[in-house]
Amino acid sequence: MATGNEESQTLHPSIISYVKDFPNICSLAGLACTILAIYFSVLGVYHAAMVGMVWAVAFDWADGLIARKMKGRTGSDRIFGGQLDLLIDIVSYGVTPAVLVLSYGAFDPIFLPAAFIVMAAAAIRLSYFSTFGLSDDAKYTGLALDNNSIVLVFIFLFESAFPHEVFEIMLTIAALTLAVLNVSQIKTPKFSGVPRNVYLLAAYTITITIIYGWKLA
């Protein structure tokens, strides 16, 4: 005779079944872009890495907007999607900028503390909001992590205007400043989730893709 616990376990959907949820597909597409960004950062093909970083943000914003507009999603769908987003965010907005800083600094150990701080700030921020949730007002506490990629991709547009040694310091300072803002108590607007901002990000993503694509040509 099956116990209640055994019965409840058999009722759980399969792990892979959540992949068919369209918002989760967007999340995984963003993860794919993140992997490409890390790959090209390691290779030193930074213009391609920037394209991957900005598209990761675009898919991140898109999945949230789609999830809010979709009907018929269950509570477990929303919980699973939220956890998937959380895990992908630490890679997209913690690991990726850290790898970028290390790679641009030729993996000199002197940049390891900066890379650690960037990753630690992302992990702390995500853990905090996973514990306490987001506030219901129109502002975040601290700078949302997705802004890190948006800002770093923009800053990298000026990379050719400075000697490599100067820009690696500028990039590191920018990444550390963003990390401090991530865990600060300052109030910042919520940009994601607003349809108008999603369209603006789409325009920004396409523009950045064209610019960096031209630089790669």
* 164-182 vs 146-155: helix crossing angle, rounded to 10: 160
Could you give the number of structural domains in the chain?
Answer: 1
**Residue 188: beta bridge partners?**
140
CATH code, domain carrying 146: 1.20.120
Residue 79: the pLDDT is: 78
Residue 95: the pLDDT is: 97
Residue 15: the pLDDT is: 75
Residue 84: the pLDDT is: 87
Residue 138: the pLDDT is: 64
pLDDT tens digits for range 52-89: 999 999 999 887 777 666 666 666 767 777 788 889 99
Residue 183: the pLDDT is: 96
Domain with 46 in it: 20-216
The answer to whether residue 204 is domain-embedded is yes
Would you tell me how many other CB atoms lie within 10 Å of the CB of residue 184? 14
Q: Could you read off the pLDDT tens digit of each residue along the chain, which spans 217 residues?
A: 455 555 445 577 787 766 777 788 888 999 999 999 999 999 999 999 999 999 999 999 887 777 666 666 666 767 777 788 889 999 999 999 999 999 999 999 999 999 999 999 999 999 998 888 776 666 788 999 999 999 999 999 999 999 999 999 999 999 999 999 999 999 888 777 677 888 899 999 999 999 999 999 8
d(CA 180, CA 202): 27
The answer to whether residue 14 is domain-embedded is no
The answer to whether residue 8 is domain-embedded is no
Mind giving me the DSSP string for the chain?
A: ---HHHHHHHTSPPGGGGGGSHHHHHHHHHHHHHHHHHHHHHHT-HHHHHHHHHHHHHHHHHHHHHHHH-SS--HHHHHHHHHHHHHHHHIIIIIHHHHHHHHHTTT-GGGHHHHHHHHHHHHHHHHHHHHH---SSSEEES--THHHHHHHHHHGGGGGGS-HHHHHHHHHHHHHHHHHHHTS--EEE--TT-HHHHHHHHHHHHHHHHHHHHHH-
Residue 1: the pLDDT is: 47
The answer to whether residue 15 is domain-embedded is no
The answer to whether residue 29 is domain-embedded is yes
Residue 24: the pLDDT is: 84
The answer to whether residue 128 is domain-embedded is yes
Q: What are the CA-CA distances from residue 92 to residues 2, 29, 142, 209 (Å)? A: 43, 12, 18, 18
The answer to whether residue 4 is domain-embedded is no
